[in-house]
Amino acid sequence: MMSRSMRGRARRLTEFVIERLLFVCAAGSILVTAGIILVLAFETFEFLREVPITEFLFGTVWTPLFSDKHFGILPLAAGTLLIASIAMIVALPSGLLTAIYLSEYAPPGIRRIVRPTMEVLAGVPTVVYGYFALLFVTPILQSFLPGLSGFNALTPGIVMGIMILPLVSSLSEDALRSVPNGLREGAYALGATRMQAALRVVVPAALSGISAAAVLAVSRAIGETMIVAIAAGQQPRLTLDPRVPIEAMTAYIVQVALGDTPAGSLEYRTIFAVGMMLFISTFTLNLISNWLRERFREEYA
């Protein structure tokens, strides 16, 4: 009797310890996230005490490291958006078409080859993509696009599009495949061809899932760092011309972090302010993507 209750107590104690341990692990990631947000918010706040927020958000010149200082983030934001748009122009159509093919047309054998290959594409380190863009793609583009600079927005945009292609296609494919088969069969029953069923029934039915994939891809493109730091240049310039050197938000952070800007100075705080902007935009996009996915799930739950 006695030993039994002791064993029971010991077991309860172990359970208790394990539960707490698991809780600490789970709490750890939340605490780290909270810590990062706090640091970002604190440094951004300190930054905004010296630089009016209107200048930061709407200024058109960004030269915080030079003697004539301007803190308008628009040139950096324009650079980021320009590259992300080019990436989406590349990734969205081809990713979606790949997904439609894989989910609606491809025989299982081909699918078994294509999917892992695309995952390899997703596993290439981004620094490799960066040098691939700078040293391989740019010279090729220059041979038929006169006026294209060695550093420009076009190449990193295209290469980034290739990089996020697997993300778009595999998430879209998941969305397409989770459309209930009854819908397809219904379409066939009404005499639809395979293409009609795919494009007019399955794709619209999976649209919120596909949008979620697209939004997530935009978020990834905005946060991507190495490709733009290597191949796009380091010149904050407010332009939509994809042929000239520009600077993206992430590339600016890299540039300052690599130099020896003294900690605590205003120049140093700029990277937190820029980081905050990045965080807000990717966080918002991720929320939208989640919301879209939830909605999609509800439709067929």
- Contact map string, positions 102 to 141, toward another protein, x by CB under 8 A: --------------------------------x---xx--
Q: CB of 62 within 8 A of CB of 70?
A: yes
Contact status: 260 vs another protein (CB under 8 A): yes
Chosen residue from 70, 111, 115, 297 binding another protein by CB under 8 A: 70
Please identify, using beta-carbon distances, which residue of 17 and 128 lies nearer to another protein.
Answer: 128
Q: Is 62 helix (H, G, I), strand (E, B) or coil?
A: strand
Tokens of 182: 């009854």
Burial class of 125 by CB neighbour count within 10 A (0 to 12, 13 to 18, 19+): exposed
Q: How far apart are CA 292 and CA 135, in angstroms?
A: 38
Give me the least distance between CB of 48 and another protein, in Å please: 21
Contact status: 259 vs another protein (CB under 8 A): yes
Contact status: 149 vs another protein (CB under 8 A): yes
Please identify, using beta-carbon distances, which residue of 1 and 263 lies nearer to another protein.
Answer: 263
- Residues 48-67, interacting with another protein (CB under 8 A): 61-63, 65-67
Chosen residue from 85, 234, 282, 286 binding another protein by CB under 8 A: 234
Nearest to 42 by CA among 299, 291, 269: 269
b/e 183-216 (16+ beta carbons within 10 angstroms → b): bbeebeeeebeeeebbeebbbebbebbbbbbbbb
- Residues interacting with another protein, by CB under 8 A? 61-63, 65-68, 70, 134, 138-139, 142, 147, 149-151, 233-237, 244-245, 255, 258-261
